RNA sequence: GGAGAAAUGGCAGAGUGGUCGAAUGCGGCAGUCUUGAAAACUGUUGAGGGUCACACCUCCGGGGGUUCGAAUCCCUCUUUCUCCGCCA
C-alpha cells in the first residue's frame, strides 16, 4: 500500500500518475488525506487523555503511601472519568484507522514515469524482440495435440484425478519438466540468487503481506479447516520471509530464487485461449525475488530483465518484451515487463515471465525496512520475476521445436533430459 | 492426539503490582589508542505514532479482563520446548 506521508506531500503527482491506470483517484486521495487528518486529531486527543490519567495514577500511588486516602479516592473518581473518555476515543481512533487502511488497500501502486497510459493490453509497449520464428512443416500441431501424439502430457487423466487444469506429465514430458526446473534454478543461482524451498501454503498474515488478501481472496485455494491458502506464486512465501524485518544496509541487496508449484483458481476463465497448457490451476514456476536499496531498484530491474532474456536466448525461443501500460500493470507494481514467447502453431504470443518493481508498495504492508546510512529505518524496495513459468515455455518448446521426426530438445536442456528428441 | 513447562529488546537473559521501555552480558555504531587492524577503554544503541523540534502516547507472543496503576494477577488463543502416543 501507498505511504500516507507520500500521498500528503505529492497529492497532484499521485493523482496524475494513477490516471495512467485510467482511474480518477481524486476522491480517494482526498479521502485518504481527510481520514488521516482525522486520525491524527483523535490520536492526539487520546494521547492527552492517557497522559493525564497516567499522571493522576502516579499521584494516587504517592497519596496512598503518605496515608492520604481521602484525597486519593477523590482522584480515583477523576481517573475513572478519563478512562471512559479514553475508551471512547480509542474506539473512534481504531475505526478511523481501519477505514483509512481499507481505503489504502484499494489504491493501486503509482505507476513509474515510463509506464505508458493505455486502455487495454493492446496498449502495452513492445520494447524488444529477438529470435527467429521457425517455419514449421505442413502438419505442425498445437502443443495439446503434440502432447497427445507423443503421450507426454495427459489432460484427461488430470481431469479424472482432480479436475480441469491439473495435467499429468508422463515419461519424457515429466523429465522435460524436471529438466526445465533444474536448468532455471541453475541459471538463477549462477546469477547470484540463493535457492530456497518454500512452504506451499501460507497463513492469512502472509497473504495480506503481499496483497493477495483482502481483494484477491477468490483467486486462491483456501484450506478453511486450518485457514491456510495454497500459494498462487512463490512470491508470497518468498517475500514474506521479510515481513516485519529490519535489514542492515550491508545486507542489501537480497536475492533469492525458488521453485514451487503454483495454485490458482482462475475463476471465470474458459474458452479456447485457455486450452492445453495456456492456463492451468496448478503449474510450476521458478521465481526470482530481490530486496533492494531504493536508489538501486531500477538498475536491479534492468538486470533481472537481462537475466530472463539470457535464458530465453539460450533456449532459442522467439520472444518479445513488453512494457506494460497503465491498464495492464498489476495492482502492486510500479513498472512491469512481460516476456512473451511466440507459439508458432497457435500463432500467438504467450506470457512466460513478468518482472516487476514494487518499490515500497509491498514493503510498506510487510514492514520490510533497512537501517539506512543515517541509522534510520527506511522501507526497502521489492522486486520479483518469473525465471521462468514452466507450462508456456514448455508449450513454446513443443510447438517451435516440432519436426516431422519428433520434438527436438533445446540444446541447453539436453544434459538435463538425457535425450535429444521426443518421438 | 495426551501430560507438563515456557514465550521479555538483534541474540542471550534478569525482572512477580507504582521507582520498568525494562538490569546485565554479547553483538552493532562512534570515539580514544594504533602506520593499519585486533585487543583494551569511553560513549552510544528497540519499534511505532505524534511534533517544525520538543513534550507526550503505545508496544514485554496475540486478544480480552481485574486494578487508580500490569512485563508482573486472571481468562483465552497461538507458538515453542520436554515426555508419551502415532508416523513418511
CB count, 10 Å around CB of A177?
18
- Cell digits for A128? 524488444
| Residue A81 shares a structural domain with residue A164 | no
Q: Are residues A270 and A370 in the same domain?
A: yes
Q: What pLDDT score was predicted for residue A270? A: 63
Contact A40, A89 (CB under 8 A): no
Averaged over A284-310, what is the pLDDT?
A: 96
pLDDT of residue A243: 87
Instruction: Tell whether the model's pLDDT for residue A377 goes beyond 90.
Output: no
A203: nt with nearest C1' to CA = B78
pLDDT at A101 exceeding the cut of 80: yes
What Å value separates CA A202 and C1' B75?
Answer: 29
Q: Mean pLDDT across the stretch A188-200?
A: 94
Sheet containing A377-379, strands listed edge to edge, beginning at the edge strand earlier in sequence: A245-248, A368-371, A377-379
In a domain, A115, yes or no: no
> In the structure, how far is the CA atom of residue A184 from the C1' atom of nucleotide B5, in angstroms?
47
pLDDT tens-place string over residues A267-296: 766 665 678 898 899 999 999 999 999 999
Nucleotide nearest to A59 (CA to C1'): B68
Peptide bond into A273 cis (omega under 30): no
Q: Whole-number Å distance, CA A30 to C1' B29? A: 42
Q: What is the mean pLDDT of residues A46-73?
A: 87
Q: Is A195 helix (H, G, I), strand (E, B) or coil?
A: strand
Residues A200 and A321 in one domain: yes
CA-to-C1' distance for A14 and B57, Å? 31
Shared domain check, A69 and A31: yes
Q: Which of A372, A377, A354, A331 shows the shortest CA–CA distance to A2?
A: A331
The answer to whether residues A334 and A205 belong to one domain is: yes
**Distance measured from the CA of protein residue A359 to the C1' of nucleotide B36, in angstroms:** 40
CATH number at residue A166: 3.30.930.10
pLDDT value, residue A307: 98
Number of domains in chain A: 2
Nucleotides of B under 7 A from a protein CB: 10, 18, 28-29, 47-51, 55-58, 68-69
Q: pLDDT-derived band of residue A244, with 50, 70 and 90 as boundaries?
A: confident
Query: Which helix (H) or strand (E) is A415 found in, with range?
Result: helix A411-417
Q: How far is CA A267 from the centre of its chain?
A: 19
A62 touches strand B (CB under 7 A): no
pLDDT of residue A84: 87
Is the CB of A47 less than 7 A from some atom of nucleic acid strand B?
yes
Q: A226 or A10: whose pLDDT is higher?
A: A10
CA(A319)–C1'(B10) in Å?
Answer: 46
Residue A149 in any domain: the answer is yes
| Å separating the CA of residue A86 from the C1' of nucleotide B8 | 27
Of the three residues A81, A106, A131, the one that is the final residue of a domain is: A106
Q: Is the CB of A85 under 7 A from strand B?
A: no
**pLDDT exceeds 90 at position A170:** yes
Instruction: Output the pLDDT for position A269.
Output: 60
A231 and A147 in a common domain: yes
Q: Say which residues have a Cβ less than 8 Å from residue A102's Cβ, sequence separation at least 6.
A: none
Summarize the confidence of residues A69-86 as an average pLDDT.
Answer: 86
In this structure, are A42 and A172 located in the same domain?
no
The residue among A334, A310, A346 whose CA lies nearest residue A144 is A346
- CA A136 to C1' B82 (Å) is 67
Q: How far is residue A18 from each of residues A6, A9, A26, A107, measured CA to CA in Å?
A: 14, 15, 9, 9
Q: Do A256 and A387 belong together in one domain?
A: yes
Percentage of residues in chain A with pLDDT exceeding 70? 98
pLDDT given for residue A375 in this prediction: 77
Please give residues of chain A from 297 to 326 whose alpha-adjacent beta carbon (CB) lies under 7 Å from any atom of strand B. none
| A246 C-beta less than 7 Å away from strand B | yes
pLDDT score for A139: 87
User: Can you read off the three cell numbers belonging to residue A124?
Assistant: 502495452
Least confident of A137-141, A183-187, A233-237: A137-141
φ, ψ of residue A34 to 5 degrees: the values are: -65, -45
Residue that is last in its domain, among A106, A139, A170: A106
CA of A199 to C1' of B87 (A): 21
Does at least one atom of strand B sit less than 7 Å from the CB of A50? yes
A56: the nucleotide nearest its CA (via C1') is: B68
Cα–Cα distance for residue pair A315/A297, rounded to 1 Å: 27
Rounded, the Å distance between the CA of A220 and C1' of B58 is 35
What is the mean pLDDT of the segment spanning A12-18? Answer: 95
Q: Is residue A357 part of a domain?
A: yes
Is A40's CB less than 7 Å from nucleic acid strand B?
Answer: yes
Q: Which residue is nearest to nucleotide B57 (CA to C1')?
A: A47
ipTM comes to 0.85
Confidence of residue A371 (pLDDT cuts 50, 70, 90): confident
Give the domain extent around A25: 4-106
Q: What is the pLDDT of residue A216?
A: 79
Give the span between the Cα atoms of A146 and A356, in whole angstroms: 33
> Which pLDDT score, from 0 to 100, does residue A215 have?
75
Residue A67 has pLDDT above 70, yes or no: yes
pLDDT of residue A147: 95
Which 376-415 residues of chain A approach strand B with CB closer than 7 Å?
A: 377
Q: Report the mean per-residue pLDDT for chain A.
A: 92
Q: Kindly state whether residue A56 falls inside one of the protein's structural domains.
A: yes
For the cut 90, the answer to whether the pLDDT of residue A323 exceeds it is: yes
Terminal alpha carbon distance of chain A: 51
Q: What is the pLDDT of residues A103-147, one digit of tens each?
A: 998 999 999 999 999 889 999 999 999 999 998 888 899 999 999
Does A261 contact strand B, using a CB cutoff of 7 Å?
no
Q: Are residues A125 and A61 in the same domain?
A: no
Query: How confident is the model at residue A188, as a pLDDT?
Result: 98
In this structure, the answer to whether residues A365 and A276 fall within a common structural domain is yes
The nucleotide whose C1' lies nearest the CA of A376 is B47
Assess whether A245 and A349 both reside in one domain.
yes
Amino acid at each position: 500500500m501507498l505511504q500516507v506521508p507520500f500521498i500528503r506531500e505529492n497529492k497532484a503527482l499521485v493523482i496524475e500518475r494513477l490516471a495512467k491506470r485510467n482511474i480518477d483517484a481524486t476522491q480517494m486521495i482526498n479521502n485518504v488525506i481527510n481520514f488521516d487528518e482525522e486520525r491524527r486529531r483523535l490520536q492526539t486527543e487520546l494521547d492527552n487523555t492517557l497522559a493525564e490519567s497516567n499522571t493522576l495514577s502516579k499521584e494516587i500511588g504517592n497519596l496512598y503511601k503518605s496515608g492520604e486516602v481521602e484525597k486519593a479516592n477523590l482522584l480515583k473518581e477523576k481517573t475513572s472519568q478519563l478512562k471512559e473518555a479514553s475508551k471512547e476515543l480509542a474506539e473512534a481512533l481504531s475505526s478511523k484507522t481501519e477505514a483509512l487502511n481499507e481505503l489504502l488497500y484499494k489504491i493501486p501502486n503509482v505507476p513509474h514515469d515510463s509506464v505508458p497510459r493505455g486502455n487495454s493490453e493492446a496498449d502495452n509497449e513492445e520494447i524488444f524482440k529477438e529470435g527467429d520464428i521457425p517455419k514449421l512443416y505442413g502438419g505442425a500441431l498445437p502443443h495439446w495435440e503434440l502432447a497427445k501424439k507423443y503421450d507426454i502430457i495427459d489432460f484427461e487423466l488430470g481431469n479424472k484425478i482432480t479436475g480441469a487444469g491439473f495435467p499429468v506429465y508422463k515419461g519424457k514430458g515429466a523429465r522435460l519438466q524436471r529438466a526445465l526446473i533444474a536448468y532455471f534454478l541453475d541459471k538463477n543461482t549462477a546469477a547470484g540468487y540463493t535457492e530456497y524451498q518454500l512452504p506451499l501454503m501460507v497463513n492469512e498474515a502472509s497473504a495480506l503481506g503481499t496483497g493477495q488478501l483482502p481483494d484477491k481472496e477468490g483467486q486462491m485455494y483456501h484450506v478453511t479447516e486450518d485457514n491456510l491458502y495454497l500459494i498462487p506464486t512463490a512470491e508470497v512465501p518468498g517475500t514474506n520471509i521479510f515481513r516485519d524485518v529490519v535489514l542492515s544496509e550491508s545486507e542489501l541487496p537480497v536475492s533469492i530464487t525458488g521453485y514451487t508449484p503454483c495454485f490458482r483458481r482462475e475463476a471465470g476463465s474458459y474458452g479456447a485461449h485457455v486450452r492445453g497448457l495456456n492456463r492451468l490451476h496448478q503449474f510450476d514456476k521458478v521465481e526470482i525475488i530481490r530486496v533492494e536499496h531504493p536508489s538501486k531498484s531500477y538498475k536491479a530491474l534492468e538486470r533481472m530483465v537481462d537475466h530472463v532474456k539470457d535464458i530465453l536466448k539460450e533456449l532459442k525461443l522467439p520472444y518479445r518484451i513488453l512494457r506494460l501500460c497503465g491498464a495492464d500493470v498489476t495492482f502492486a507494481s510500479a513498472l512491469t515487463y512481460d516476456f512473451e514467447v511466440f507459439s508458432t502453431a497457435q500463432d500467438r504470443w504467450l506470457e512466460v515471465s513478468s518482472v516487476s518493481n514494487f518499490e515500497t508498495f509491498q514493503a510498506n504492508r510487510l514492514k520490510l525496512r533497512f537501517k539506512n546510512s543515517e541509522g534510520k529505518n527506511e522501507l526497502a524496495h521489492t522486486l520479483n520475476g518469473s525465471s521462468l513459468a514452466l507450462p508456456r515455455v514448455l508449450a513454446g518448446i513443443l510447438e517451435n521445436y516440432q519436426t516431422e521426426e519428433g520434438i527436438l530438445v533445446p540444446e541447453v536442456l539436453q544434459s538435463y533430459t538425457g535425450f535429444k528428441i521426443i518421438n
